[in-house]
Amino acid sequence: MARFSLRPMRWWDIEPVMALEHLLFPDDAWSRGMYWSELAEAYPGGSRHYVVAVDEGDAVVGYAGLMAVGVDGDVQTIAVEDGHQGAGLGTMLLTELIEESVRRGCAELLLEVRVDNLRAQRLYERFGFEPVGIRRGYYQPANVDALVMRLDHLASDASDLKDHHNG
C-alpha cells in the first residue's frame, strides 16, 4: 500500500494541483491566479494554510486549503486524485485543516460542498460537520447548489480528532 505525506503547498506545486483541479472539478476548476492569490496569503501569520498530499515519489495526489480570519475558519478546497480516493487521504487532509484551525483559534469551521457530492458529505459528517444551509447556483458555470456545512466548538486538543475519526 502506498504511503502518503503532507507538506506545505508551494508555488511549484501549482501546476500539478492545476492538473488535478481540471480532472476533479472540470466544470468549476479554480484558476492558476486563484491559487497564486491563495498562496500569497500562506505565510506565518497569513490568513491561509495550504498543503499537498504526496506519494512516495513526491507526486502530488491531493491538496487542501484553509482560510482563517479571527475566530472564523473556512475550508477553501480539498481534493484527492481519483485513483487514491478511499485510501484515507481525504481524512488526512481534513484532519490537517481542522488541526490548523484549532491552532489558529477558530471557533467554527465552514465549508461548501456540491449537493451531488455525497462521498465528500459523508466524510465531513464523520468529522461532525452539520448542514446549515444551501447556496443556490454556487458552483458556476454548472449552476450547481452548494450545501453549507459547519463544525462548531472545535476541540481544544486537536489530537482527539485523529483518534475519534480514524474509524
Each residue of 94-150: pLDDT tens digit? Answer: 999 999 999 999 999 999 999 999 999 999 999 999 999 999 999 888 899 999 999
Give me the residues paired with residue 48 across strands: 67
pLDDT, residue 85, reads 87
Spatial distance between the Cα atoms of 141 and 144, rounded to a whole number of angstroms:
8
Spatial distance between the Cα atoms of 127 and 162, rounded to a whole number of angstroms:
10
pLDDT, tens digit (0-9, with 9 covering 90-100), for 58-90: 999 999 999 999 999 999 999 999 989 888 999
Domain boundaries, the chain: 5-165
User: Hey, which CATH number is domain 5-165, 3.40.50.300, 3.40.630.30, 3.40.50.10190, 3.40.50.2300?
Assistant: 3.40.630.30
Q: pTM of this prediction?
A: 0.88
Q: How far is CA 75 from CA 56, 78, 102, 108, in A?
A: 26, 7, 13, 11
Q: Which residues are designated catalytic?
A: 112, 124
